[in-house]
Structure 1
Amino acid sequence: MILIAVALGAAIFSGIFAFRFGIAYRKKIAEAEIGSAEEEAKRIISDACKTAENKKREALLEAKEEIHKNRIEFDREIKERRNELQRQERRIQQKEETLDRKVESLEAKEDMLNRKSKEIQALQEETLEIQRKQLEELERISGLTVEEAKNYLLKNIENEVKHEAAIMIKDIEAKTKEEAEKKAKDIISAAIQKCAADHVAEATVSVVPLPNDEMKGRIIGREGRNIRTLETLTGIDLIIDDTPEAVILSGFDPIRREVARVALEKLIIDGRIHPARIEETVERSRKEVENTIRQEGEHATFETGVHGLHPELIKLLGKLKFRTSYGQNVLRHSIEVAHLAGIMAGELGADVNIAKRAGLLHDIGKAVDHEVEGSHVTIGADIAKKYRESQEVIHAIMAHHGDVQPETIIACLVQAADTISAARPGARRENLETYIKRLEKLEEIANSFNGVDKSFAIQAGREIRIMVKPEDVSDENAVLIARDIVKKIESELEYPGQIKVNVIRETRAIEYAR
């Protein structure tokens, strides 16, 4: 036991000694490493200080060089600016010297002008005095005052100017008319030659032929109930008189008259004429007429080459087949105007399609003018706006009767084509009373001018021949009278086509041999 205790104590002591020795050894190694690290750190710091010092010296040198370079450049710029300032000072000094010399020269000239102005003023006063004396002498010699002489001269000048103006107007008109008439004749003749439209004069009655006179009784029916039913359903008057084998349909609405005509023809062919059958036939006939209207409108668009119209516009065009104006069928007239306007537009280089479209639609208002308040021009323009036609077409419709001033070449062409179609011989029938009034108004306008002796409306009112008094009207004034009469006719009279105003001045010398 003692031995074990001794051995155990020796082991513990040896362990403690070894531990302390190990600690001392490691401490010594650590101190050696720390000393080496400190020396290395001192060396690095020393090298860094040396490097920083070197860079500092290099930066200082570079900065000194840059400053030196900038100073040299600055001195050079200062020197150049100083030289430039010196040059400018010399130029300014030279200019000041020049201005001084000019001022001295101007002062001398001003003195000279003042002297001359005084001399001129004195001369003017002397001249005015001489002129006054001359005027007094002239008044004494001529026996006229200054105002009287002035009026005399002005009157002579006015007569001379009027004479020259009349001659100039005559020459200009002659040249302009010659060129314009030649061009217009070429264009219009070409248009008319290319467009040959058929026209049928229509009235407000239609005649339906009968197979025999016995059919009249069947149409009248028992106690007249058949004819009353037919008249009630169609709104058309049936005239059954002594005319053999014919019934006359009378009414101002051509579409209703057409419905009545178709229905009556169907009833005559069928033979079964009674109120129920009449009602059924009239309804079927009305649908047939509506179909005919649509087909006529489509045919008009195909014939003129105008496409893309609204279906309602096509229907309104078809209605024009049953409308007449002074005996001229409005649909045929519209087709003819479209062709004429298109041909003239092609000759002038304008848009042919727009011209045709405007020409075809120019009278579209006549399809409903009996149903809507207003002129057919305003109604037609409103319809074109409603169905989104172009502004050119709308303006042409508004301007084709001169309600507004034509502002486009298309409007002028449609106006001209409308006049050509309506005014050509045989196109329209004019009421005799209206025709006579127009001729009387023509002669009245001509006779209202001073110097007119007699006037005669000839060629169905397309020309007025005016005889003037030769002692009151000169050849030059005859030109002015013709122009004034034309303007008055245009402002006061409505007429188809154009009217030629022919002023004649004739001097006759008559003697008798006895």
Structure 2
Amino acid sequence: MTTSRDVVVTILLLVLIAAVLLVGRRLRDRPSRHGVTDQHSVTEQHSATEQHSATDQHSATDQHSATDKHNPADEVQAERRELVAELSSMRMQAIQSAAATKAEAETLASLQRRIAEAEIDAARRTLATETERTRHAAELEASSVLLEARRQAEREAMELTATARSAQADVERRQHRVSEREERLDTDRSRLDERSASLAEETARLDTRAQELETAAEAQRAELERIAGLTAADAKIELLAAVEADVRRDVAILTRDLEAEARASAGERARRIIADSVQRVASEQTAESVVSVIHLPGDDMKGRIIGREGRNIRAFESVTGVNVIIDDTPEAVLLSCFDPVRREIGRLTLEKLVLDGRIHPHRIEEVHEQSKTEIASLCARAAEDAVIDVGITGVHPEIMALLGRLRYRTSYGQNVLAHLIETSYIAGVMAAEMGFDGTVLRRAAFLHDIGKALTHEVPGSHAIIGGELARRYGETEDVAHAIEAHHNEVQPATVEAVLVQAADACSGGRPGARRESLEVYVQRLARIEEIASGHDGVEKVFAMQAGREVRVMVAPEQVDDLAAGVLARDVAKQIETELTYPGQIRVTVIRESRATE
């Protein structure tokens, strides 16, 4: 109902608005007559709409003032009445239309209400039908589920019954076995009781027999003591004294024989082990050089290397730290540097510059950086190959870097990294010949010269530096001690330390391992003989075995036995102080006394 009323009110408002708009349009379209102004006409129209009595008053006034029966005011008044009548007619039509619309709306609402009630009834009937159908289906499904559940319960009950019967049968069988076992246990217990009683009787009999035997033994011992005139303690002392003398004599003889055999075979066995070790390690002879030679495509390249006013050669030496020696040697220049790694970097840099042809300070710096990277990669690869060759693992990365630097370091012409590998091989063979595990020995022998990579950077001998590096980077104490003791700067305290010394001496002392120039070699031997000859009482001096042994002949009337030992120590100390030499030098003082009649 509320909706219908709103519709009717809306329609009435629309009709009224349309009527007002229509009247306004007609008033605007109607022309003014006899010079009457629009303002006067609008004023009079407004007055006509406000009050009907005012219209008559205005009309009387107009008639009194007018002189002609065709006055314009009468025409305006007539038009006003027509408009009012027309507006009243339109109002009545609007009211009638609204009433008709209201009636139609009420009829429509009633019709819609009846349709809605019919639809609601149909929906109720449909819902009831669907509910009944759903209830019936649910009842059928519930019956089916209940039937299936009953069947499942019956099956489970049957299975449980079968399981219970099986379990009951199993329990009965177990009870039967337990009963049989209890019967056997009872039988065994009875048998054990009988045996225990028998054993108790036998034990008592044996105890009695033992007492009888002990009494008889005491009687026999007393009879023997009476016959021999000695007690048992005195007889034991005499027997032990006699046996002890014989045993001591046998032990002394055996000890003497073993010592003699050990002295006789120790030297031969040591020589055999060293010979086998060196022979089994086939190494190349040294062929290292102390300088690097760069071959040039032509002598005009020397001028390009020098550059304008020496600019290029100064830049090269400043960047690389390597001295460039340019002499009259055709198509070649020499590179000299105390650091072999820097010398190798300089060699590679100069070779690349010569091959490229562009030689100027900026290009020298670029090629030098490339060469440093390449040499670092080569050092790392060389260290990895060496570690794989000797078969050790777990080496610290810092030690690996130092091992790579030893690829370009030499000691008396012998490549240090190759020397480490060879020493490790020899140490492993020695360990195998002597019959013990050589893992620690091979590791110590491989790392014994690691300090040479830092000798010019850190003060101290390479052996002490190597031991400190080994401890710093996680090596065991046995390895560190063997490294620092391989030149006797620390007293060797383990078998590994002594064998590392032996392996190092074998690698450095074998023929062809190390070389010196002839002039340096002769000068060194002459200086050794000169040092030994400068002491009092020395008659002759011989430098033997390439300067590794010095034999000093002394006058017996001037040097006695005690002075001979002092002289040997003095000569050795002076040689150690004044000379530089590979390995060790043995000083032997020979004092010979001759008497002829």
Change in CA separation of 1:472 and 1:267 when aligned onto 2, cut-off 3 Å: closer
What code does the residue aligned with 1:398 have? E
Change in CA separation of 1:253 and 1:466 when aligned onto 2, cut-off 3 Å: closer
- Aligned partner of 1:262 in structure 2 is 348
Alpha-carbon distance in structure 2 between the residues aligned to 1:274 and 1:178 = 71
Q: CA deviation at 1:201?
A: 4.3
- Aligned partner of 1:242 in structure 2 is 328
Alpha-carbon distance in structure 1 between the residues aligned to 2:270 and 2:402 = 33
2:473 counterpart (387, 390, 413): 387
1:481-503 deviations in Å (ceiling 9; x for gaps): 88776666666644634637484
Secondary structure of 1:461's counterpart equals coil
- Aligned partner of 1:313 in structure 2 is 399
2:451 matches 1:365: yes
Change in CA separation of 1:366 and 1:245 when aligned onto 2, cut-off 3 Å: same
Alpha-carbon distance in structure 2 between the residues aligned to 1:212 and 1:235 = 25
2:586 matches 1:499: yes
Alpha-carbon distance in structure 2 between the residues aligned to 1:467 and 1:369 = 38
2:306 matches 1:216: no
Secondary structure of 2:451's counterpart equals helix
Whether the 8 Å CA contact 2:286–2:513 is kept in 1: the answer is no
Change in CA separation of 1:505 and 1:321 when aligned onto 2, cut-off 3 Å: same
2:442 counterpart (325, 343, 356): 356
Q: CA deviation at 1:318?
A: 1.1
- What is the RMSD of the two structures over their aligned residues, measured on CA atoms? 3.1
Change in CA separation of 1:392 and 1:244 when aligned onto 2, cut-off 3 Å: same
What code does the residue aligned with 2:419 have? H
Change in CA separation of 1:457 and 1:226 when aligned onto 2, cut-off 3 Å: closer
Q: CA deviation at 1:274?
A: 2.2
- Aligned partner of 1:226 in structure 2 is 312
Q: CA deviation at 1:457?
A: 3.1
Alpha-carbon distance in structure 2 between the residues aligned to 1:183 and 1:365 = 32
1:123-169 deviations in Å (ceiling 9; x for gaps): xxxxxxxxxxxxxxxxxxxxxxxxxxxxxxxxxxxxxxxxxxxxxxx
Structure 2 matches for 1:280-299, cutoff 5 A?
280-299=366-385
Change in CA separation of 1:263 and 1:319 when aligned onto 2, cut-off 3 Å: same
1:63-109 deviations in Å (ceiling 9; x for gaps): xxxxxxxxxxxxxxxxxxxxxxxxxxxxxxxxxxxxxxxxxxxxxxx
Q: CA deviation at 1:328?
A: 2.1
Change in CA separation of 1:191 and 1:498 when aligned onto 2, cut-off 3 Å: farther
Alpha-carbon distance in structure 2 between the residues aligned to 1:172 and 1:459 = 33
- Aligned partner of 2:531 in structure 1 is 441
What code does the residue aligned with 1:307 have? T
1:160-218 deviations in Å (ceiling 9; x for gaps): xxxxxxxxxxx999976532210111110111011122243434421100011111122
What code does the residue aligned with 2:499 have? L
2:500 counterpart (395, 399, 414): 414
Secondary structure of 1:460's counterpart equals coil
Q: CA deviation at 1:281?
A: 1.0
Q: CA deviation at 1:271?
A: 1.7
What code does the residue aligned with 1:244 have? P
Work out which structure has the larger RCO, using CA pairs closer than 8 Å and 6 or more positions apart in sequence. Answer: 1
Whether the 8 Å CA contact 1:239–1:247 is kept in 2: the answer is yes
Whether the 8 Å CA contact 1:443–1:464 is kept in 2: the answer is no
Alpha-carbon distance in structure 1 between the residues aligned to 2:281 and 2:567 = 34
Change in CA separation of 1:437 and 1:472 when aligned onto 2, cut-off 3 Å: closer
Secondary structure of 2:425's counterpart equals helix
Change in CA separation of 1:395 and 1:406 when aligned onto 2, cut-off 3 Å: same
Alpha-carbon distance in structure 1 between the residues aligned to 2:383 and 2:436 = 26
Q: CA deviation at 1:413?
A: 0.6
- Flag the structure with larger Rg: 2
Alpha-carbon distance in structure 2 between the residues aligned to 1:226 and 1:487 = 55
Alpha-carbon distance in structure 1 between the residues aligned to 2:332 and 2:427 = 42
Alpha-carbon distance in structure 2 between the residues aligned to 1:305 and 1:339 = 10
Secondary structure of 2:546's counterpart equals helix
Q: CA deviation at 1:384?
A: 0.9
Alpha-carbon distance in structure 1 between the residues aligned to 2:292 and 2:565 = 47
Whether the 8 Å CA contact 1:463–1:502 is kept in 2: the answer is no
Q: CA deviation at 1:359?
A: 0.7
Alpha-carbon distance in structure 2 between the residues aligned to 1:368 and 1:394 = 16
Query: What is the percent sequence identity of the aligned residues?
Result: 50
Alpha-carbon distance in structure 2 between the residues aligned to 1:503 and 1:172 = 30
Alpha-carbon distance in structure 2 between the residues aligned to 1:463 and 1:373 = 29
1:441-481 deviations in Å (ceiling 9; x for gaps): 34556x65xxx6544334433444555668899xxx98x88
Alpha-carbon distance in structure 1 between the residues aligned to 2:460 and 2:585 = 26
Q: CA deviation at 1:273?
A: 2.0
Alpha-carbon distance in structure 1 between the residues aligned to 2:549 and 2:300 = 55
Change in CA separation of 1:215 and 1:466 when aligned onto 2, cut-off 3 Å: closer
Change in CA separation of 1:177 and 1:485 when aligned onto 2, cut-off 3 Å: farther
Change in CA separation of 1:439 and 1:338 when aligned onto 2, cut-off 3 Å: farther
User: Which 10-residue stretch deviates more, 343-352 or 181-190?
Assistant: 343-352
Whether the 8 Å CA contact 1:341–1:355 is kept in 2: the answer is yes
Q: CA deviation at 1:388?
A: 0.4
Alpha-carbon distance in structure 2 between the residues aligned to 1:360 and 1:268 = 38
Secondary structure of 1:256's counterpart equals helix
2:269 matches 1:183: yes
Change in CA separation of 1:405 and 1:275 when aligned onto 2, cut-off 3 Å: same
What code does the residue aligned with 1:329 have? N
Secondary structure of 1:371's counterpart equals coil
- Aligned partner of 1:195 in structure 2 is 281
Alpha-carbon distance in structure 2 between the residues aligned to 1:247 and 1:254 = 17
Alpha-carbon distance in structure 2 between the residues aligned to 1:456 and 1:202 = 30
What code does the residue aligned with 1:384 have? A
Alpha-carbon distance in structure 1 between the residues aligned to 2:557 and 2:545 = 29
